[in-house]
């Protein structure tokens, strides 16, 4: 569903250095690594929000670099995204979640309301359509973000630090929600997280970025058992190591 070939991206200095990565359809792929290792940039490359200087990005069989604006927009309709900082609009919960439906599809208002209500029920926030997100907790905002990212039923969903700033209990609830949504819809998921133990509990496969390079790609169990020094240190939270 997602394939990256030799992806390079730099700003003032290199951020991504020759990334090769394959995410099978229906897989939860966790992307871990230290801060400033290029994880968020890589996710934006997959979403078509950032263009690499070199390499190819395939999403559902289409190479993004070969597409014009119309073609790129068509691919983006297949992708839902939860941003790290919520990125909720200054409007009601209903309007936030309904936004992708109204922007991308010509749906009757009754169907939009039904889909929003169904999403809110799925994220355990029923009846909150008229609330102001700015007055809600961090965990509730994340749930609204999940609802908005999935309301259009995209085949691919990208999550950028979905549990950042949340307590352990709320974090696990968010991970459980991501896993349950993926199982219910059969979506392909990429999730970035600094909460290694939490994200490994739901991941089918794991990739670790370090200094812009993919230093590990395997199953969650293989990540836990890895003898690669940087991977072992990061996964187990060890003080001693190359990081």
Which pLDDT tens digit goes with each residue over 183-240?
988 999 999 998 999 999 999 999 999 999 999 999 999 999 999 999 999 999 999 9
Give the residues across from 63 on adjacent strands.
58
More confident residue, 19 or 124: 19
Q: What are the residues whose beta carbons fall under 8 Å from the beta carbon of 125, sequence distance 6 or more?
A: 93, 140, 143, 144, 147
Residue-wise pLDDT for 23-52, tens only, equals 999 999 999 999 889 999 999 999 999 999
Give 85's pLDDT tier (boundaries 50, 70, 90).
confident
- Mean pLDDT score across all residues of the chain: 93
pLDDT at 155: 95
Distance between CA atoms of 153 and 204, rounded to whole angstroms?
21
Task: Measure the CA angle with vertex 66, ends 24 and 102; round to 5°.
Answer: 75
In this structure, what token pair is assigned to residue 62? 């289409």
pLDDT of residue 151: 94
Cα separation of 189 and 209, whole Å?
17
Q: Which of 5-19, 91-105, 161-175, 210-224 is predicted with the least confidence, judged by mean pLDDT?
A: 161-175
pLDDT digits (tens, 9 = 90+) for 144-180: 999 999 999 999 999 999 988 888 888 888 899 899 9
Residue 103, pLDDT > 90, answer no
- Spatial CB neighbours of 33, under 8 Å, sequence gap ≥ 6: 39, 208, 209, 210, 234
- Residue with the bigger pLDDT between 56 and 185: it is 56
Of the CA atoms within 13 Å of residue 124, those in its CB half-sphere come to: 12
Q: Is 38 left (phi over 0), alpha (psi -120 to 50) or beta?
A: left
pLDDT exceeds cutoff 90 at 86: no
User: Residue 132's pLDDT is what?
Assistant: 96
Q: Quick one: which H or E segment has residue 120? A: helix 109-122
| Residue 138 three-state SS | helix
Question: Is 10 a residue whose pLDDT tops 90?
Answer: yes
Does residue 62 surpass a pLDDT of 90?
yes
Percentage of residues of the chain with pLDDT beyond 90: 81
C-alpha dist (Å) from residue 106 to 23, 100, 147, 237: 31, 11, 19, 48
Q: Give this prediction's pTM.
A: 0.91
Q: Encode pLDDT of 106-123 as tens digits.
A: 889 999 999 999 999 989
pLDDT of 52: 95
């Amino acid at each position: 569903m997602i394939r990256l070939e030799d992806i390079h991206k730099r700003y003032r200095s290199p951020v991504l250095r020759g990334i090769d990565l394959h995410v099978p359809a229906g897989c939860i792929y966790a992307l871990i690594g230290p801060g400033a290792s290029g994880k968020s940039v890589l996710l934006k490359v997959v979403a078509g929000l950032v263009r690499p200087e070199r390499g190819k990005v395939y999403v559902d069989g289409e190479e993004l670099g070969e597409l014009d604006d119309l073609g790129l927009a068509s691919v983006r309709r297949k992708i839902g995204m939860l941003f790290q900082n919520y990125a909720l609009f200054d409007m009601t919960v209903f309007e936030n979640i309904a936004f992708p439906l109204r922007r991308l599809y010509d749906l009757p208002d009754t169907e939009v309301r039904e889909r929003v209500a169904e999403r809110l029920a799925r994220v355990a926030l029923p009846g909150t359509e008229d609330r102001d997100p700015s007055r809600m907790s961090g965990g509730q905002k994340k749930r609204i973000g999940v609802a908005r990212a999935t309301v259009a039923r995209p085949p691919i969903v990208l999550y950028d630090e979905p549990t950042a700033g949340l307590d352990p209990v709320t974090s696990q609830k968010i991970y459980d929600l991501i896993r349950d949504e993926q199982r219910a819809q059969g979506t392909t998921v990429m999730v970035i997280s600094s909460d290694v133990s939490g994200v490994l509990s739901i991941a089918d496969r794991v990739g670790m970025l370090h200094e812009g390079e993919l230093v590990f790609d395997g199953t969650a169990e293989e990540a836990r058992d890895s003898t690669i020094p940087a991977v072992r240190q990061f996964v187990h939270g060890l003080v001693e190591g190359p990081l």
